[in-house]
Amino acid sequence: MRKILDEYMTKGKILIVDDDADIRDVLRLLLEKDGYEIVEASNGEDAISLIDSSFQCMILDVMMPKKDGIATCIDIRKQYHIPILFLTAKATEYDKYIGLSMGGDDYLAKPFSSMELLARVGALVRRYTEYHEPVMQSNQEIILKDVVVDKATSRVSKDGEEIILTNIEYSILLLLLEHPNKIFSIQNIYESVWNEEYDYLMNSTVMVHIKNLRKKLGDDVKHPKYIKNIWGRGYCLAN
């Protein structure tokens, strides 16, 4: 009975994927102490075989044998949209751009601060949980031209076809939809969606997520139909 109660009281279930056993041990100890249930995998292929809808987050190393983190992320995104935090020694702006463009939600460089890791994981899990909480109201649709957002199911569709968004992409879209007349700076978006204090180093992260969102909506940057970039000010809904 105690084991069952403990499982229900965890903050969430996290899959750690890293070929370095020492890194996995450090992550497991940190996250278990913070109240998470942990499952480990030493490579991308094992991660794909383990992943299911019971997880709230994945911490994924980029450089691994058999199947690297980017390829693993691409395969997982075909079926699941749980938050993915890339944890890697490759931390250039280009590396971050590739990771986020391929479906990652956040990026943390090694060596990492334990406090920053816990903060980032906590934010990802919190957003994912809120994203999947059932909404009691029966009519929670927001319509933008041919795009429909059903807040009751967190489903986004265009011309009746579902658009699969990551949690952050969905949160950015919902933020803009719920404030149709407001221009959001990158700082506004970061603090609202990530719920963290703004750091200018996160500018490229926000911009990549917006780029991915616009691509999935089929938006034309030169002639935007959904999301418009106001030069020097930020982003807003297109009229």
Residues 109 and 181 grouped into a single domain: no
- Decide if pLDDT at 186 tops 60: yes
pLDDT of residue 5: 37
The two tokens of residue 153 are: 């199911």
Of 102, 132, 162, the residue at which a domain comes to its end is 132
What average pLDDT score do residues 135-155 get?
A: 76
The two tokens of residue 57 are: 């987050």
Inter-residue contact 131 to 170 (CB < 8 Å): yes
What average pLDDT score do residues 184-193 get?
A: 93
C-alpha 32/C-alpha 96 separation (Å) is: 27
pLDDT of residue 45: 92
Residues 13 and 106 grouped into a single domain: yes
pLDDT of residue 179: 86
- Total domains in the chain come to 2
C-alpha 22/C-alpha 111 separation (Å) is: 13
CATH of residue 102: 3.40.50.2300
Residues 92 and 191 grouped into a single domain: no
C-alpha 189/C-alpha 176 separation (Å) is: 9
Residues 94 and 168 grouped into a single domain: no
Residues 145 and 96 grouped into a single domain: no
pLDDT of residue 202: 85
C-alpha 18/C-alpha 28 separation (Å) is: 11
- Decide if pLDDT at 197 tops 90: no
Query: Within 10 Å of residue 18's Cβ, how many Cβ atoms?
Result: 26
C-alpha 64/C-alpha 80 separation (Å) is: 21
CATH of residue 169: 1.10.10.10
Residues 128 and 145 grouped into a single domain: no
The two tokens of residue 82 are: 């749980």
Element housing 226 (H / E): none
Give the domain range for residue 168: 141-237
Dihedral in degrees, nearest 10, Cα atoms 172, 177, 180, 182: -20
Inter-residue contact 69 to 20 (CB < 8 Å): no
Residues 128 and 219 grouped into a single domain: no
Of 109, 132, 155, the residue at which a domain comes to its end is 132
Residues 146 and 229 grouped into a single domain: yes
Greater confidence, 92 or 19?
19
Residues 118 and 24 grouped into a single domain: yes
Residues 66 and 146 grouped into a single domain: no
Inter-residue contact 57 to 82 (CB < 8 Å): yes
What's CA 192's distance to the chain center, in Å?
14
Of 132, 151, 173, the residue at which a domain comes to its end is 132
Predicted TM-score (pTM) of this structure = 0.64
Residues 115 and 28 grouped into a single domain: yes
- Decide if pLDDT at 211 tops 60: yes
pLDDT of residue 132: 60
Residues 147 and 82 grouped into a single domain: no
- Decide if pLDDT at 144 tops 60: yes
Which of 37-41, 77-81, 120-124, 194-198 is predicted with the least confidence, judged by mean pLDDT?
Answer: 77-81
**Alpha helix (H) ranges present in the chain?**
2-9, 21-33, 44-50, 69-77, 93-101, 114-132, 167-178, 186-193, 203-217
